[in-house]
Structure 1
């Protein structure tokens, strides 16, 4: 482990999981002392977990995780050059087999929902005990979802269709303007550009401009992907 947070791979990751060996874990946190403590705890408590590498920034995490292909990533939510949601955004499409477990000092609802929407399998706070952390790593590696007790309610509220559910901010959705959301909602419902223009009293050219902007901001490539993206966020 290096003190400056540079990603390293002193254990070889095992692709595909299974019973071939210990669960390989990659640590992402901008505090080197915290990473060192977690590494020590994980490796001393259980021979079922092995640290594959670590990183202290989003950039280092993306490089290190892609190189070592760990089974589980312990992911900090807030870092100087971004956070867990950004790591997920860049890596989840390319490494669907890697499981992400958020490990953060924050227990804010918006932080929990941001990383869960990004594809994390669970979220635990840094008050977790060493034994509980090992158990959480093993459980998510086996396909379970793991949350610190009070955080599970945030997820249920955000994804449940029930009165009184607390509205939770979606960082990806928040980058769209009100008009872009209106265009996206109609597009996802199957409206043609001409029909959208008529519905919103704007020109077809303006509709095309809004759609291009939404595609750029969401980093999607076609209408089908936009429709699925909008449906996942209940815009339709």
Structure 2
């Protein structure tokens, strides 16, 4: 990419934005900044930057909302998450939404500048330990679900479940919460709820207690 990279800053802390500006210096052109999702969406649409430096946790719904709202309108804009959080669920959520990278705020100024330039050029950039989260998540998503052993005594209702519904069913039967299941399978809580509803409906069960008994009877725990 020729010329200075045009960067838009999104972070709800003014001191963080000022610090990022100082670290990036004159090596990039900061074309705007915002502290919440609504302002970010409007500002990014107006400026069409090369790179958006995006905090994950923001007032108004978070960085993922900004990304999902604007990304399709600006296909040439790249997104780099810059967050204090190194939680796997935050990393996976923003990458699934379309970010090209994720770095933590412990990054040095020269490293951040390098990350911005690399993302602008189309590379994917991650802080070292975060790359493992992404690889694990997408490897798990691509891997086929482990087969359920054939058993003549197994309830035939099991055949009605998709591979993902079987995963959700087993975790539900083992007592995991919807949030914990979502984190383990890298899906949203709403998606877990939808799968759980489908599982109960297909197996003709009324609640989780019945599901646990059913799973135990069919030796699926």
TM-score (norm 2): 0.68
Partner of 1:139: 118
- SS, match of residue 9 in structure 2: strand
Partner of 1:40: 22
CA distance in 1, matches of 2:60, 2:191: 19
Partner of 2:186: 169
- SS, match of residue 184 in structure 2: coil
Partner of 1:110: 89
Determine if contact 2:92/2:133 at 8 Å carries over to the other structure.
Answer: yes
Q: What RMSD in Å do the two structures reach over aligned CA positions?
A: 2.5
Alignment match of 1:49 (pick from 25, 28, 34): 28
> Is 1:74 equivalent to 2:48 in the alignment?
no
Residue 174 of structure 1 and its aligned partner are, at CA, apart by: 2.9
1:1-236 superposed matches below 5 A:
18-19=1-2, 21-43=3-25, 47-160=26-139, 161=142, 167-171=184-188, 174=191, 177-178=194-195, 200=202
Task: Kindly indicate which of the two structures has a greater share of residues assigned to helix.
Answer: 2
Q: CA 1:63–1:153 in structure 2 vs 1: closer, same or farther (change >3 Å)? A: same
Residues 110-162 of structure 1: CA distance to partner in whole angstroms, max 9, x if unpaired?
A: 00000000000000000000000000000000010000000000000100045
Q: What residue ranges of structure 1 are gaps of 5+ in the alignment?
A: 1-17, 183-198, 203-236
Determine if contact 1:78/1:84 at 8 Å carries over to the other structure.
Answer: yes
Determine if contact 2:12/2:36 at 8 Å carries over to the other structure.
Answer: yes
**Aligned residue-pair number:** 164
CA distance in 2, matches of 1:158, 1:91: 24
TM-score (norm 1): 0.64
Q: What residue ranges of structure 2 are gaps of 5+ in the alignment?
A: 147-182, 205-221
Residue 180 of structure 1 and its aligned partner are, at CA, apart by: 6.7
Q: CA 1:103–1:181 in structure 2 vs 1: closer, same or farther (change >3 Å)? A: farther
CA distance in 1, matches of 2:196, 2:185: 20
- SS, match of residue 92 in structure 1: helix
CA distance in 1, matches of 2:188, 2:63: 12
- SS, match of residue 177 in structure 1: helix
